[in-house]
Structures are given as C-alpha cells and as structure tokens.
Amino acid sequence: MDTHLLGDRGMHLVDGVIRKFRVAKVFRENTDRINSLCFAPQGDLLISSADDDQIVLYDCEKGTQRRVLNSKKYGVDLIHFTHAKNTAIHSSTKVDDTIRYLSLHDNKYLRYFPGHTKKVTTLCMSPMDDTFLSGSLDKTLRLWDLRSPNCIGLMPLLGIPVAGFDPEGLIFAAGVNNESIKLYDLRSFEKGPFSTFKFAYDNENEWASLKFSPDGKTIMISTHGPIIRLVDAFHGLPLQTFSGFNSSKTATIEASFSPDSQFVLSGSMDGAIHVWSTEHGRKVAVLTGDHTGPVHCVQFNPKYMMMATGCTNMSFWLPAIEE
C-alpha cells in the first residue's frame, strides 16, 4: 500500500483530507465480529482480535497479513501490544476472567494475571513502561506490571470503571458510575484521586470507554448510547458532544482520536465511519466502505496516514490524494 508519514508531502489531517479516505485493503478471514484493534506505537504493525478466537497480525506498510494465531481455549478480547512488538496482552472470554500475556512469536503465554472475578471491560497499556490498567464488571480497577502476576494496585469502586492513561504515562483517569472522572497520579495512586470531575448522572447512556487525546488536553467518554462526550482534561469542563451515529446498548462501538487530536472517529451500527472536529464539534465526514455490518472498532495509525476499521472484516483506509 502507498502509505505516507503524517505531514509528509504536505498531507495534513484537515477536513478535506479526512473526506478523501477510501478503503485500500480488505481482509475477510474472520468468521465473527472483530472486537478490538491496536496499532504498534511505531505504526508499522496492527493486531486484531475477534469473537471467533482469532488473533491476526498485519504489516501496515505492505498491507499484508503477517501471522494468524488462535486462542480457542481462553477466547480473546481487548488485545493490546506491549512495548515489545512481539508480545501482547488480552482479556479472556472463556474459562475465567484472567488477563493473559502472549508471545506472538510462538503463540505461547508468558504470564497470567488473575484477580478479576467478572468480565474485564477495560484494558490499556501505559504509553511509557510495562504497567497496565484493567477494569471489570466486578467494580474494581487494577494496576499491573508485566513482570509480576500479582496486581500492584487494587481500587474498589462504586460502579463499573472505564479508564485510560494520559500520553505521558504519569496520570490515569477512571470514569465511574456514569457520573464522575477521577484522576490519579501513578506514583501515589494509593493516596486516592488528586482531582474528581462530577457530571449529571446519565441513566440512558452508560459509559463504555475513556481515552485521553494524544495531546493530553481532553478526555473522551464513549457510551453505549448515541453520544460521545469530550471534556477538558484539566478542569473537567464539557467541551463537545458528538451524536448522529447508530449505536447499541448491548455492543460497544469504539471511538478514537486522530494522532493530532483534531478529530474524533467513531464506528456505527450502520457500517459507516463518522468523523467530527474536536475544535468546533461539527461532523466533517461520514465514510462508507465495504463493511456490511456494524463497525465496532476504529483506530487511526499513530505514524502513517492510515486508519483501520473492523466489523466481521478488517479494512485499511488511505486518503485518495491526487499526485
């Protein structure tokens, strides 16, 4: 595929470029829903997991599959690269709710992280080191280190948490009970949150995920309803509300930032990709490709002018830029 570095040859993420994104490559090997996608920090690799227990590693520069693995015994969801491109962590959908640390080189598990007693709904790696966060329906948030099977932090909460690290890996945020965001300093998290943002309780739109923008200035709350909220990461002030896409209360529809933090992209139950400006809040594009079912996953490559989306097939998107 003809990929370009962000900013290369005058290509920048402005409205016009976003609207020119088209599907460049489609993979149809999965027999069930793709439930998570993750780009390597260098942007050269993409990994996906699916409800059919399949893990697929893709070469983003060549637009090819590099390897197909399976987790038939434990199932797989919420897959993430670690800081080594040949390893990943993922949650389980069978047997128990243990988090697993997988070698992609030989399809062997390097370590297990037991502790959660119900389904893991949040999993994220620190952008700086080997720590990671997990949140569960058991109403706990746990902090882990890849080098130890025992969690290094356990935070019982009043509701089901969503969580994420800031871009510098020094702070993490926990969204709790659809009404508050708590900020923790990673170096002293045991002292409790150093700041809490309170919002009106939203019974209709249960929180599904929390993500910091790449520039660290905003926090995005995705919901199981037709609403995505953007708030100021320093003061908790509401900034934007994005809507107009088809959602489901029983299935997570992922939303992600562009690498420059200027756009939010979301999948939709109708197979389209919706894109909004974070500055103005207006919708700048509705992209349609080869997806015939709900798009549950959408991620923008951190280095290249490329995004990936997943339903039961996986699609690479590139901008149709005239030479």
Q: Which tokens in the block code for residue 127?
A: 């952008």
Predicted confidence (pLDDT) per residue in 70-129, tens digit: 888 999 999 999 998 899 999 999 989 999 999 999 999 999 999 999 999 999 999 999
Q: In DSSP terms, which residues pair with 55 in a beta bridge?
A: 49, 69
Q: Residue 3 carries which DSSP code?
A: -
pLDDT of residue 315: 94
Q: For residue 41, is it left (φ>0), alpha (ψ between -120 and 50) or beta?
A: alpha
Q: Read off the DSSP letter of residue 280.
A: T
Residue pair 221/236 in contact by the 8 Å Cβ criterion:
no
Q: What is the pTM assigned to this prediction?
A: 0.93
CATH class of 15-319: mainly beta
Q: Is residue 146's pLDDT more than 60?
A: yes
pLDDT category, 321, cuts 50, 70, 90? low
pLDDT at 246: 82
Is the distance from CB of 254 to CB of 264 less than 8 angstroms?
A: no
Question: What residues have CB less than 8 Å from 280, skipping those under 6 apart?
Answer: none
pLDDT tens digits, residue range 6-23?
876 556 789 999 999 999
For the chain, which residues make up each domain, given as ranges? 15-319
**pLDDT value of residue 56:** 95
Question: Could you tell me if 272 and 295 are in contact, meaning their C-beta atoms sit under 8 angstroms apart?
Answer: yes
Q: Is the pLDDT of residue 34 over 90?
A: yes
Q: Please answer whether residues 202 and 208 qualify as being in contact, where contact means their C-beta atoms are separated by less than 8 angstroms.
A: no
Report which of residues 30 and 214 the model is more confident about.
214
Residue 297 near residue 37, CB atoms below 8 Å: yes
Asked whether the beta carbons of 289 and 23 are under 8 A apart, the reply is yes
Q: In what order do the strands lie in the sheet with 297-300?
A: 21-27, 314-319, 307-310, 297-300
SS3 227: coil
